[in-house]
Amino acid sequence: MPIRALIIDDSSVMRKIVTRSLRQAGIDLSQVLEAGNGAEALAILQESKVDLILCDINMPVMDGLEFIKQLPGVPNAKDVPVVMITTEGSESHVVQALSCGARGYIRKPFTEEQVKDQVIPVLAGKQ
């Protein structure tokens, strides 16, 4: 079933790479929304519903961890799964992201297979 995804990254090039990786991983995207930081993403989610959120951590204005903390307050998005995609690879960052509510964690640089391994189970509700 086609899904709507929101991709949050301050790099427009990375947003396009993530979109392409999702498609190459076999995920059927009916719509892709993009935001350059957490605040932009929260504004988009006030108006739009999505099925999946992929979010960077290090971003200006509002970072990914602050975004995920504020997500439960958005009626359209409180149950939407979030997968973090970031250069921060430490165990403490992973633990922090997961404790804030993230359902998956992908380290940059990533392969198509790593995207598939993290996103497919999340969409299937297995994690």
Partner 1 sequence: MTSVDQVRVVRGDRSDWAPLMELATREVFAMILGCQLTIPETGVEGSFDATSMVGLAGKLCGILTFACSAKSATLMATKMLGVAADEGSREVLDALGEICNMVAGNFKNKIAGLADGCLLSVPTVVTGKNYSLHSLADVAALEVRLLFEGMLIIISLRTNS
List the Cα angle 48/14/86 in 5-degree steps: 90
* CB 64, CB 10: distance < 8 Å: no
Interface segment toward partner 1; rule CB under 8 A; list 27-35, 44-52, 71-79, 103-111: 103-111
Least gap, CB of 60 to partner 1 (angstroms)? 6
127 in contact with partner 1 (CB under 8 A): no
99 in contact with partner 1 (CB under 8 A): no
Least gap, CB of 26 to partner 1 (angstroms)? 17
List the Cα angle 105/111/115 in 5-degree steps: 40
CA distance 38 to 57: 9
The number of helix segments (H) and strand segments (E) in the chain equals 5, 5
Among 1, 13, 124, 126, binds partner 1 (CB under 8 A): 13
Least gap, CB of 34 to partner 1 (angstroms)? 13
List the Cα angle 114/120/121 in 5-degree steps: 105
- Site residues for partner 1, 38-97, by CB under 8 A, read 58, 60, 86-93
| Contacts with partner 1, residue ranges (CB under 8 A) | 10-14, 16-17, 20, 58, 60, 86-93, 107-111
